[in-house]
Structure 1
Amino acid sequence: MKTDTVGPGDVTPAEPAIGTEGRKDRKREIWKLIPGFGISGFFLWRTIRGIHYDDLRALHLVHPVWIVGMTLFLVGSYTLRIYRWWFMLRRSGAASFAVCSRVLLTSFAANNVLPFRIGDFLRVFTYANDLNASSSTILSTVILERLLDIFTLLLFLVGLLVHAAHALPPVLVRGHSLNVLHFAEPVLLVVALGLVLLLFGASLLQRMVEALVRRMPGGARTEKVQRWALLLFDSVLKLSFAGRMFLLVSSVAVWLCEGMIFVSIARMLDIAVLPRGPWLAVTLSNLGFLIPSSPGAIGVYENFCKAAMTSQGAAPGISGLYGILVHVVVFFSVTIAGGIAFLAHRVARGAATRPLRDDLAELPSELPAATPPGIS
């Protein structure tokens, strides 16, 4: 928030009020963080409570050659993510692949260390000029990116459980035992239907939204919802049929590479587990990001990873250490890469001494009015 410049000797009645309001805002932000950190603390406790010193001693680097595989799949996974995002943006005249790489890695790093998905806001607003695209267009690609990832992870989960419905322990709901597959299948069906309609029926959805909005009472909020929805459809309509199929295929490739990171670490440590274990781990741990928690889903990620490996025969203590190690590898690799990209860019544009909080303070508190499709 920008304020009028006041000279050193100037005193205005508004100053105390602004300070009080600022302190209230900071307190509200702190209170918003507490539930997330509480959830993370609970799941982290569940992860480490079964780990003993003997488990730590039993963990050895048995097959170091798998470090090479882990590294290659890690690089491949994030290279594919960057290319997929650049592919979505290029029809809008987006910047080069290198710029998209820097922005996306910076966004991931910020999401890992800052609350409230700040990295996504940086990607949409702060770096819009760098990407040579409007904030509206970038936001539509972020939404599509999320839908593709959730669809692919649910597809993996159902595929892993369809021939092994009892691979994961049942969930108890009011005394009734329900299998995880019973939850995953209908959710996958809904997400798949929505994604297929979005990718291959965007023009139909666009007309339906326009008809629905015409029946709604007018107003700024209704107009904003309409414009954001139309922008999402417009970003899809700019892609050819082959381009939309590529998004599906590339999303599967992204998560196959991510899964192989989990497999590589399990092989590297020679963990006794069924082949399904690492694949269930990558699926459940990343779906765990849907649960509100601390930045980086610390605790949630490890706990779901442990649950998946334990269900496939791995010892609980070893499974907990495995989940922590996998998260450390992925978390620190992406955060360090994004941090380096962020700092290098700040140095290059002469803003190395500008505090990061100044950049964050310039982010809007809400989504601005979207520009209609076709207008940059």
Structure 2
Amino acid sequence: MTMLDEPAPLTAPRKGKNNIVRLVIGCGLSVACLYFVFRNIRLKDVEHALATFHWPYLIVGVLSLAVGYSARIFRWKMLLEACGPRVTTAACAGPFLASIALNNVLPFRLGDVVRALVFPTALGVTKTGATATLVLERLVDLLTLLVCLTVAASFFPKRALPASVVDIVIALSVMGSVALLGLMLLTGPIVRLTRWFATRIEPKAPAKLVVLVRAIADLVEALQSISRIRTVFAALAISFVAWAGELGLYLALMQGTGMAFFLPGGLLLMSMATIATLVPSSPGYVGPYHLAAFTAAHLMGGSSTQAMTLAILCHLGVWLPTTVAGAIVMAFNRNLFKAARNQASLAASGDTT
């Protein structure tokens, strides 16, 4: 048995307890957000609004969402090839959709963990490379959404947006930009520094610490390979296409509820609702998503009933198709998990022989 496979009786229970605390806090925040949304809403009015919704708009919106997710899958394929062997877009589609579905139903975005540590085996790519692509994806998506939110806010009267929202946007924009610039400019020196540090501590440090430092160096090196200027700008361009596809869903649902077509309003709705998923909550982003979407619809002049109906439909339109698609992939592509199990079995038998 290797050093990494040894049990950690002191840290595992503590980690499990921390996860439980985080889950309880997240569920509490979800309940609080839902209370603020529903406290002045008559459910009968929402039921009537849902019954009179023009459902063909949902079909158009879901088709637009499919275009957006196709762009995301192609972007992941491009990033994987930047740090590893060639893969096809079709091969990347299954693991990507399965991870989204797992994110939708499990806490702590565990679908991302599975995409980084389990699915790479089925694709023939390294776990380090897959993890690096996730880091860059998140940074690029965040910056794209912040640009969308900034553009949307410029069309609204001054002080129409809460000051706290503006402060959060500025803070996230600065942090995201600095992180992306750091990836493009500083990964090389960081790799050399961590490898030098690992060499210096190797004779006297615990083996686990040396392994950890080397793993960090490998991750930063993978980030260096995918954070070249051309690759980053290509990822940003594809990200705008992806979010344009998702924007089509929000605009279609706005039309279906009887709200006027207002492109900046759709950008505001999509950006606020998506950024709200960064807030700890229950699985499925229930609560913070609805509160953000409800607030954005109100800022566009929608009634409380329209805002609540739109929040429910937006969550349904984003959550249900991606969850169903990912569930179908996992049901019919057992190799996603089987390959990782086989690799783990081989590694275990190699440790014991």
Give, in angstroms, the shift of residue 40 of structure 1. Answer: 1.2
Could you give the per-residue CA deviations for residues 108-128 of structure 1, whole angstroms, max 9, x where no partner exists?
001111122221121112112
The residue type paired with residue 318 of structure 1 is Q
Alignment partners' CA distance in 1, 2:271 and 2:262? 15
- Partner residue of 1:189? 174
- Partner residue of 1:127? 119
- Partner residue of 2:48? 57
Whether 2:28 is the aligned partner of 1:38: answer: yes
- Partner residue of 1:148? 140
Equivalent pairs: percent with the same residue?
26
Whether 2:326 is the aligned partner of 1:344: answer: no
Give, in angstroms, the shift of residue 248 of structure 1. Answer: 1.0
Do the aligned residues in 2 keep the contact of 1:95 with 1:130 (CA within 8 Å)? no
Alignment partners' CA distance in 2, 1:23 and 1:235? 36
Could you give the per-residue CA deviations for residues 15-56 of structure 1, whole angstroms, max 9, x where no partner exists?
xxx9xx999986664444211111111112222223212343
Alignment partners' CA distance in 2, 1:186 and 1:113? 29
- Partner residue of 2:6? none
Give, in angstroms, the shift of residue 184 of structure 1. Answer: 1.9
- Partner residue of 1:207? 189
Select the residue among 145, 156, 160 that pairs with 1:167.
160
Do the aligned residues in 1 keep the contact of 2:62 with 2:321 (CA within 8 Å)? no
- Partner residue of 1:262? 250
- Partner residue of 1:281? 269
- Partner residue of 2:225? 234
Alignment partners' CA distance in 2, 1:196 and 1:24? 35
- Partner residue of 1:86? 77
Do the aligned residues in 2 keep the contact of 1:273 with 1:314 (CA within 8 Å)? no
- Partner residue of 2:57? 66
Do the aligned residues in 1 keep the contact of 2:226 with 2:232 (CA within 8 Å)? no
* Structure 1: gaps of 5 or more residues: 3-17, 172-179, 352-357, 363-376
Give, in angstroms, the shift of residue 189 of structure 1. Answer: 3.4
Do the aligned residues in 2 keep the contact of 1:50 with 1:320 (CA within 8 Å)? no
Say which structure, 1 or 2, has more relative contact order (CA 8 Å, 6+ apart): 2
Alignment partners' CA distance in 1, 2:265 and 2:118? 40
- Partner residue of 2:349? none
Could you give the per-residue CA deviations for residues 89-135 of structure 1, whole angstroms, max 9, x where no partner exists?
12411432222100000000011111222211211121121111010
- The CA RMSD over aligned residues, in Å, is 3.2
Give, in angstroms, the shift of residue 59 of structure 1. Answer: 4.4
Give, in angstroms, the shift of residue 211 of structure 1. Answer: 4.5
Whether 2:125 is the aligned partner of 1:137: answer: no
1:69 is paired with a residue whose SS is helix
Number of positions where the alignment pairs a residue of Structure 1 with one of Structure 2? 323
Alignment partners' CA distance in 1, 2:250 and 2:93? 23
- Partner residue of 2:108? 116
Give, in angstroms, the shift of residue 259 of structure 1. Answer: 1.2
Give, in angstroms, the shift of residue 331 of structure 1. Answer: 0.6
* Structure 2: gaps of 5 or more residues: 3-8, 345-353
Do the aligned residues in 2 keep the contact of 1:259 with 1:279 (CA within 8 Å)? yes
When normalised by structure 2's length, the TM-score is: 0.80
Alignment partners' CA distance in 2, 1:268 and 1:96? 37
Summarize the Cα distance change of 1:114–1:124 in structure 2 as closer, same or farther, 3 Å threshold.
Answer: same
Alignment partners' CA distance in 2, 1:87 and 1:225? 23
Alignment partners' CA distance in 1, 2:12 and 2:145? 41
Do the aligned residues in 2 keep the contact of 1:108 with 1:119 (CA within 8 Å)? yes
Summarize the Cα distance change of 1:230–1:78 in structure 2 as closer, same or farther, 3 Å threshold.
Answer: same
When normalised by structure 1's length, the TM-score is: 0.76
The residue type paired with residue 158 of structure 1 is T
Summarize the Cα distance change of 1:135–1:306 in structure 2 as closer, same or farther, 3 Å threshold.
Answer: same
Could you give the per-residue CA deviations for residues 131-185 of structure 1, whole angstroms, max 9, x where no partner exists?
11010000000000000110101111111123534232334xxxxxxxx334423
Alignment partners' CA distance in 1, 2:21 and 2:179? 35
The residue type paired with residue 117 of structure 1 is R
